[in-house]
Amino acid sequence: MENNMLSGFNESNAFVAQHDETEKPEYTRADAVISVFAMIAAFCFVRYVLFHVMGFVTTGLFIAVISAAIIYLKKKECEFSRFNKLLAAVLYIFSTVFSITANTLIKDLDVVFLIGAGAYFVYSVGASNRNIDRFLPYAMCKAVFEYPFSHFGTQGKITSDMLSNSKKASNARYIFIGLLITVPLTAVVAALLMSADDGLERMLNGIFNNIFGNGFWDTALQLIIALPCSMYLFGLLYSNAHRNALNALDEQACTQKMYNMRFLSNLIVYTAVTPICVLYVLFFISQAGYFLSAFTNSLPEGFTYADYARRGFFELFAIALINLGVTCFMSLFSKKAGREKPFALKFYSVMISVFTLILIATAMSKMIMYINRYGLTALRFYTSWFMVLLAVIFVLIIIKQFRFEMKISRDISLVFVLMFGILCFSRPEAVIAKYNIEMYRSGSLEELDTKTLLKMSDDAVLTAYNEEVVTKEEILRHRSDKDELRDYNLSSVILNEKMS
């Protein structure tokens, strides 16, 4: 396919690298253009995502990268199925998160999501997928690691060949070498002139400080970090557009790998899991009053609301993770699993999942009781979101035991994207501020902690100001203690307008 694509190019519309002992890759004008774009985008990513505030600029950056990837893949005649178009729409939608919220945690999570989902999108287009991969973990490993790093150095080879074939680049290289040679002599002359004249010394010191101040070294560091980021981005795009030398995901091979992982006798698994299940039964019986009190809105003797809710969450977190690990272990390493899974293995999986769902329901009831008493905080909001997500995953695990053909990777992915979308677009800290203010005005909350609201992002501060629970002077006093660099997002822009 690549040879056919290259055959139509001549010297005016394509670059063809000369083959030598280093095996320079063949590349087209589209490859050269996307290589330059990757360098610019990588520097902007480091500058406006890793080093500086994220807002409208970061939204524009991700939209530009997604659009460039689509154009490049179309130039390479890749097929865009309905599923891939939906993936592109999801990426565009989540790129707007940086502009609508000032919440740093949400934006950091969104960056991770967009990188992973973006890598899978490029992989999916290159593979002409029409649905989520059945073996999604294997596909994600190829999308995020194997394919990009398989061509990690290709951008350097293409750039080197472009520079060697460009007359202007050769002239620029000679100029750079000339300047490099004259630096020591120029430095000596400058030092002598500075010693001879105070005015020139002040002038040169000012020029030096302006050029080589903190901003210069920050930019230099950003350029250094941007280099591997650029190589990764180009490797991701180039590898999926030139798949001839890559190992495609083979479902039969994945099935065989999973089959080879099954080395434990089912009897050993049952023997190992049975004591855990018995322990859960005894635990629920002995602590029935403790757990059921969460549903009756009453506290067990000797507990405060804070201790009761906090203890419930840590119980959930530890036990749920253990149960999730045990369930996955049974499904992956039991000799008879998958389509051959016996009733006993299904029973144990369902039993552990049900125990976990009971714990989640109890913990959620306790958390609601605690929130009704003391109001919402960021930690309470995020843990509640996590518990709901975990509950849905265990429900899907239960359904999977009775429907083998169910694509659980696809369903969990869809649920996660939906839940993550709710988390991002709900603007959690605005919800927290609004809820606490309403609770305070209704009399359910004894005291409104405005200091905590002012320490939150501009999402919460703007809500508090609109609800007239904080003054302009309080906001300005608090904002004066912050870094001058502020997020360019909707909440911050509106708040700045109100403060001016």
Q: How far is residue 211's CA from residue 3's CA, in Å, rounded to a whole number?
A: 48
Reported as a pLDDT band with limits 50, 70 and 90, residue 13 is: very low
Residues 471 and 338 in one domain: no
Domain final residue, candidates 400, 425, 450: 425
Residues 315 and 383 in one domain: yes
Percent of the chain at pLDDT > 90 equals 34
Q: How far is residue 274's CA from residue 159's CA, in Å, rounded to a whole number?
A: 61
Distances (CA, A) of 168 to 171, 176, 265, 442: 5, 12, 69, 72
Q: What would the mean pLDDT of 114-143 be, rounded to a whole number?
A: 92
The total of structural domains in the chain comes to 3
Residues 238 and 372 in one domain: no
Number of H helices, E strands in the chain: 24, 0
Residues 437 and 409 in one domain: no
Q: How far is residue 169's CA from residue 403's CA, in Å, rounded to a whole number?
A: 62
pLDDT of 326: 87
What pLDDT, in 10s, does the model give residues 271-292?
888 888 888 788 777 666 655 5
Q: Encoding tokens for residue 339?
A: 């389509």
At residue 264, φ and ψ (nearest 5 deg) are -95, 135
Would you say residue 202 lies in a domain?
no
pLDDT of 431: 95
Helix (H) or strand (E) holding 379: helix 378-402
Helix, coil or strand: residue 494: helix
Reported as a pLDDT band with limits 50, 70 and 90, residue 2 is: very low
Amino acid identity of residue 438, one-letter, is E
pLDDT of 172: 53
Residues 387 and 474 in one domain: no
Residues 305 and 438 in one domain: no
Beta bridge partners of 334: 264
Would you say residue 109 lies in a domain?
yes
pLDDT of 418: 96
Least confident of 186-195, 276-285, 399-408, 436-445: 186-195
Reported as a pLDDT band with limits 50, 70 and 90, residue 24 is: low
Residues 12 and 121 in one domain: yes
Helix, coil or strand: residue 304: coil
Query: Does residue 459 contact residue 72 with C-beta atoms inside 8 Å?
Result: no
pLDDT of 467: 92
Residues 94 and 232 in one domain: yes
Residues 149 and 85 in one domain: yes
pLDDT of 374: 85
Give the orientation angle of helix 458-466 with respect to helix 428-442, to 10 degrees. 30
pLDDT of 214: 59
Domain final residue, candidates 425, 447, 479: 425
Q: Encoding tokens for residue 243?
A: 């798949």
Domain that holds residue 435: 430-499
Question: Max Cα separation, the chain?
Answer: 94
Domain final residue, candidates 425, 441, 466: 425
- Residue 328, pLDDT > 80, answer yes
Residues 337 and 232 in one domain: no
